[in-house]
A and B are shown apart, each in its own frame.
Chain A
C-alpha cells in the first residue's frame, strides 16, 4: 500500500473506529469493508477530505456470496483525480434485510448504479429518490443475478408477443 492510501486508511480508522471492519490489499488494490450504517459518512469523508479527496464514484455494484452468512455485498469504487488513487469499499448485508443507505446524496452519479444493483439483486437503497428497475421490465418479479435465479430464467416470467 502506498503512502497516500495508507494515510487515507489510517485516517478512516481513526475517524470511524469499529465501522471500518476490515482492510485488505490485493494486487495494489485497497479494499475497505465498512459497516452499513457508516457508509454515507465514510463516502462523504472520502469525497471531502483534504489530503486525498475521492470526488469520482466509478462504480457501484452488488455481489451475491450465496453461502456466506452475510449473503449480499455492495461494492463501491472511488477514484481520486488529484492523487490518482483508487479505493474500494464494501458493505455486507444479510439476506433477510438487504438494504444499504443510498450514497446519492454524496455522489449523485451513483443513482443509476444503485438502480442497477436493485434491479439485479433486490438490494434496496433507502434515500434514493427514484429506485426503479433499470434493465428488466417494471412488472418483472425477480432479481436475475441472484444465485438462486436459474440461468435460463423462469418460463413465463417475461412474456413474449403472440406469433400470430
Chain B
C-alpha cells in the first residue's frame, strides 16, 4: 500500500469507521436489566463454562452511565417500562438494546393487561432473541449479531442503519 510503505514499518492506514467499530464491538459493556428468569440465563452466560468475557463483554456494569448495551432480560410490565426507559435514557450514546427472550420481545406467555407486548413499543431494539428463556449460547448469538451491527455502523451516525435482527 502506497502510504504505508512510504511511512515505513509500524504504520497502517484504515477508515475511522472501521477502526472505531472494531474497538467498540470488542468492548461492549452490558447493562444487565434482569427482570425475571431470563436474568438467570444471563448470569449463566457469565459463568466459567460459557464465559462471556471471550467477547469482551464480561464487564457487567450495574450503572447505565458506564454501559453500551442494555440486555432487557425478562418480563416488562407497564409499571416497570418507565423505569427501564429511564435507565436507557441515562446511558451514554452510542447505545444498543437486546431484547432477551420471549417476554421482552413479544410479551411471551403473558398475554395480559399488565405486561408490555414487546419492549420495541418504547425502546429502539437492535436484536430480538428467541427462547423462554434463551440458552446462553443464543444470547451469544445475539451479541455476535450485535457486534456485526456495531462494526458496520458509522461513527457520525451510529444509528444510521438497520432493521432489528431476530436470532433463534
Interface, chain A (partner B; CB < 8 A) = 135-137, 144, 149-154, 157-164
Distance (whole angstroms) from the CB of B90 to the closest CB of chain A: 13
Does B113 contact A144, Cβ atoms closer than 8 Å? yes
> Contacts of B79 on A, CB cut-off 8 Å?
135-137, 158
Does B112 contact A151, Cβ atoms closer than 8 Å? yes
Question: A11 to B40, alpha carbons, bound, how many Å?
Answer: 51
Interface residues of B in 20-60 (CB under 8 A from A): none
Does A160 contact B81, Cβ atoms closer than 8 Å? yes
Does A153 contact B85, Cβ atoms closer than 8 Å? no
Question: A152 to B85, alpha carbons, bound, how many Å?
Answer: 22
Contact with A along B92-122 (1 / 0, CB 8 A): 0000000000000000000111101000111
> Contacts of A153 on B, CB cut-off 8 Å?
112-114
**B91 in contact (CB, < 8 A):** no
Partner of A144, one of B86, B114, B122, B123: B114
Partner of B78, one of A150, A158, A162, A164: A158
Question: A154 to B122, alpha carbons, bound, how many Å?
Answer: 18
**B65 in contact (CB, < 8 A):** no
Interface residues of B in 109-152 (CB under 8 A from A): 111-114, 116, 120-124
Does A152 contact B113, Cβ atoms closer than 8 Å? yes
Does A160 contact B122, Cβ atoms closer than 8 Å? yes
Question: A144 to B114, alpha carbons, bound, how many Å?
Answer: 9
Partner of A163, one of B78, B86, B113, B122: B122
Task: Considering the complex, give the chain B residue whose CB is closest to the CB of A144.
Answer: B113
Question: A149 to B124, alpha carbons, bound, how many Å?
Answer: 31
> Contacts of A151 on B, CB cut-off 8 Å?
111-113
Partner of B116, one of A149, A157, A160: A160
Distance (whole angstroms) from the CB of B104 to the closest CB of chain A: 14
Does B81 contact A163, Cβ atoms closer than 8 Å? no
Does B114 contact A161, Cβ atoms closer than 8 Å? no
> Contacts of B123 on A, CB cut-off 8 Å?
163
Nearest first, the 7 closest Cβ-Cβ pairs linking A and B are A153-B113, A161-B85, A158-B78, A161-B122, A160-B122, A144-B113, A160-B81
Does A152 contact B111, Cβ atoms closer than 8 Å? yes
Task: Considering the complex, give the chain A residue whose CB is closest to the CB of B116.
Answer: A160
> Contacts of B114 on A, CB cut-off 8 Å?
135-136, 144, 153, 158
Question: A136 to B85, alpha carbons, bound, how many Å?
Answer: 18
Distance (whole angstroms) from the CB of B145 to the closest CB of chain A: 21
Task: Considering the complex, give the chain B residue whose CB is closest to the CB of A149.
Answer: B113
> Contacts of A157 on B, CB cut-off 8 Å?
113
Does A162 contact B122, Cβ atoms closer than 8 Å? yes
Question: A90 to B48, alpha carbons, bound, how many Å?
Answer: 53
> Contacts of B111 on A, CB cut-off 8 Å?
151-152
Distance (whole angstroms) from the CB of A145 to the closest CB of chain B: 10
> Contacts of A135 on B, CB cut-off 8 Å?
79, 114
